[in-house]
Structure 1
């Protein structure tokens, strides 16, 4: 399967799995009115093609003690060092997202920690000392109206 070659059935499979990754192959096949072996083959092809990256459980971070979300803009001294900084940031477990951005800052990251003390430790002890980091600017999230990793799959939305 080449990039952009997903057909309508593939898109319906992607939508269904995105809504409920735990759906059984048999249930998905019933909803699509297809043979289970055909659905299984399509899911394997979608995985091999990279259209499905992973099957993950969405956890409740607050219930697990990580209730503070912050976005941190990171200015780097030299653009040439950005790659190394990005790789270092990506290794930190509290860092959920690492984005290389246009403009004065080199990176925008999303972090989730238990509280302000943990955020301070992360910034002071693990991000600040990175060789190319010049400065950081932090925005603490007070409340979240929407947070999702669901991607709007293109094409007609025929429910599965």
Structure 2
């Protein structure tokens, strides 16, 4: 079980992952070595899954966000890589989710523009064996985009 101090450490790291260990220790009222030990334990337990730099997509000409619903034939094909794994290997694809409902998969991807998106759909996504159809939504503007989720008051089991 995660205690309140570890929960506070996680919230601090969510705000600024590169915060110095000494500053985390100051904020939670512990010795830096004790905080470092807790962080390593949280990493070892898989509670902290990693650290990631968030790049500005516009600076890398990745302005267009698209969500793509994909319908597959639903049959396992042992002779080829599973469709979700094939899609996940594409560098433009940021997320791959299996979904309930009419469609089978939901992708989030970033492209430079509509021409690149069209080429990705025609040449790479729709050409994957087992994909029956796609439906694409393009984003006009983004008001919030994050990988964060609330953890206050939630103490996961060990």
> Does TM-score exceed 0.5, indicating one fold?
yes
1:90 counterpart residue number: 88
1:80 counterpart residue number: 76
Tell me the CA shift for residue 80 of structure 1: 3.2
Take 2:94 and 2:26, find their aligned partners in 1: how far apart are those partners? 36
Q: TM-score, normalised by structure 1?
A: 0.90
Residue aligned with 1:80, SS: coil
Within the alignment, does 1:36 sit opposite 2:32 as a pair?
Answer: yes
RMSD: 1.3
Within the alignment, does 1:103 sit opposite 2:107 as a pair?
Answer: no
Residue aligned with 1:47, SS: helix
Deviations 1:39-71 (A, max 9, x none): 000000111111111111111101211000010
Residue aligned with 1:97, SS: strand
Within the alignment, does 1:153 sit opposite 2:151 as a pair?
Answer: yes
Deviations 1:49-101 (A, max 9, x none): 111111111111012110000100000012535x8010111100100010000
Stretches of structure 1 that go unaligned for 5 or more consecutive residues are none
Take 1:125 and 1:6, find their aligned partners in 2: how far apart are those partners? 47
**Which structure 1 residue ranges, 4+ long, deviate > 3 Å from structure 2?**
none
Take 1:21 and 1:40, find their aligned partners in 2: how far apart are those partners? 13
Q: TM-score, normalised by structure 2?
A: 0.91
Residue aligned with 2:59, SS: coil
Take 1:142 and 1:23, find their aligned partners in 2: how far apart are those partners? 34
Take 1:151 and 1:49, find their aligned partners in 2: how far apart are those partners? 19
Within the alignment, does 1:7 sit opposite 2:18 as a pair?
Answer: no
Q: Determine which of 55, 60, 72 is the counterpart of 2:51.
A: 55
Aligned residues: 151
For residues 107-122 of structure 1, what are the structure 2 equivalents within 5 Å? 107-122=105-120
Q: Determine which of 61, 64, 84 is the counterpart of 1:65.
A: 61
Take 1:39 and 1:46, find their aligned partners in 2: how far apart are those partners? 11
